[in-house]
Chains A and B, each alone.
Chain A
């Protein structure tokens, strides 16, 4: 006797909560061979707007947390993922049609990527910042700071978990908050990651995950005045030039699309792409 399955309708992850799309829309997630897996929320431009609001309000707390704390929180994600490897492997196998071994490899690499980036949280500043020997009696220090709210179009090809983590993690390191549009066709990893994040120590609003159509949401995020940086890593198939033009309106920082297996490969440059260098001068006087 086979048990009757409970089909699931997933929701968005916004501001630490799991709302449905304000539009009420859903779309079907299918496996690589066309089998129905679940329904996902199809986020609208208003959901994107709400996500930016959530990200903005979470920014002060996340950017203001100590670097040590951010590192711990990011590492905690790796710990939680480690415990749920099997679930992610199953979803990846279903969605991507890869072997279990390949799915394990992807999950492991994603976990390791969290660990790697977690370690940068209290170090990137030392590598990218420095004292400046100005000619005069001044203390002068340059330090990188988070850019602010980062909107990300997650990679739409390749590993659905690894692509997402590779894009989201580096932005979080310095204290940015993120609005990410998940892999449209294979959002299960993103949805599950949202559930992991919700039970992790990542404050609500720091990561906001939208499922649905990147083509529909990206223009709203690109032109949004309260988005400070735009990572188009997974926007290669969109009219991304136009997105870049939209972003120029408020001088939003843009990372262009990357394709191929090493898209968003791990690097400190990816952390620094979402930072601003602040230089502080202060007089030095003994008398």
Chain B
């Protein structure tokens, strides 16, 4: 550990944030801090992401990557039409992604709306890992997902309910309106409050993923600042998107977030997770993300506690690739299950 890391490690989250910001988490102090972070040149960032995307992952590396991708997926259903039956089916898929090959790893978690947590937990039964890496976690979107347009009390109640129902992970949305209008203090305070609401009666916490909705933040500089803000406020993960706006996860956006996570680790020694969500549909795309993680923050981030894919259709494409690698011939959609 470096000296700064040692010093930082002795502080709790709130103290650490205040020490870094250099005062209370006011709009002005946060602005000064966030605007002091080096900017991003979009062309260079996109070029780097594109270069990482040209890595050629073959044979044994590809096999490893495919199983790794599966194990990092938050298998997601976030529809108005979701039902207990749909969630049960999703859980079945999460536990047995490939009915024809039981050696296939399970996904990391299922991700559902708060009112479906109960059903997901029930369907998982003993396979519910409850925060460990042993089984499948239940993640709930909360805080008036996806827009986040509700009072703080409603948002916190949303979180309470989901945690009480057994959610291991909470995927909250930040108030993009507040962020874009410079009310950084409000965004910060909300994340801190949500984090407190993740507390279980036994004193443990549900893992908090902070959705930045990068498509609405629009610029890479905003994404970088929002990433810092979310991490300062105590988010365990930073997540790109809800999947409900036109622009979801992109490789450059995810790269920029990984760079923040890397810098945070350099600064404090603490590890924060990253979750690109929405728009990653193919094994080939997902492999680019795996490469980007490994070459930006290091291979140790390729673990469910530090990296996730928020996806639904991705799983079947990866499974077809997996079947191709096992059998030597191309698979078809009839040979993977729909959830």
Contact = CB atoms under 8 A, between A and B. Distances in A.
B42 A287 contact: yes
Contacts of B44: 283
Interface in B81-128: none
Interface residues of A, number: 8
Interface in B159-176: none
A138 B43 contact: yes
Contact of B220 (A283, A284, A287): A287
Interface string A262-287: 00000000000000000000011111
Contacts of A286: 42
A283 B39 CA distance: 14
Interface in A115-162: 136-138
A285 B43 contact: yes
Contact of B218 (A136, A285, A287): A287
Interface string A169-180: 000000000000
B219 interface: yes
B300 interface: no
B54 to A, nearest CB: 16
B219 to A, nearest CB: 5
Chain B, interface size category, equals: under 10
A137 B45 CA distance: 12
B202 interface: no
A76 B46 CA distance: 52
Contacts of A285: 41-43, 46, 220
A284 B218 contact: no
Contacts of B43: 136-138, 283-285
Nearest to B220: A287
Contacts of B42: 137, 283, 285-287
A280 to B, nearest CB: 15
Contacts of A287: 42, 218-220
Of the listed residues A284, A286, A287, the one surrounded by the most CB atoms of chain B closer than 10 A to its CB is A287
Quick one: which of B42, B218, B220 has the most chain A CB within 10 A?
B42
Interface string B42-71: 111010000000000000000000000000
A286 B42 CA distance: 7
A285 B218 CA distance: 12
Interface string B15-43: 00000000000000000000000000111
Interface in B211-226: 218-220
Nearest to B42: A285
Nearest to A282: B43
Contact of A283 (B41, B218, B219): B41
A280 B4 CA distance: 40
A141 to B, nearest CB: 16
B192 to A, nearest CB: 29
Interface of A: 136-138, 283-287
Interface of B: 41-44, 46, 218-220
6 contacts: A137-B43, A283-B41, A284-B43, A285-B46, A287-B219, A287-B220
Given A285-B220, A287-B220, 5 more contacts: A137-B43, A283-B41, A283-B42, A284-B43, A285-B42
Which 3 pairs, one residue from A and one from B, show the smallest C-beta to C-beta distance?
Answer: A285-B42, A283-B43, A287-B219
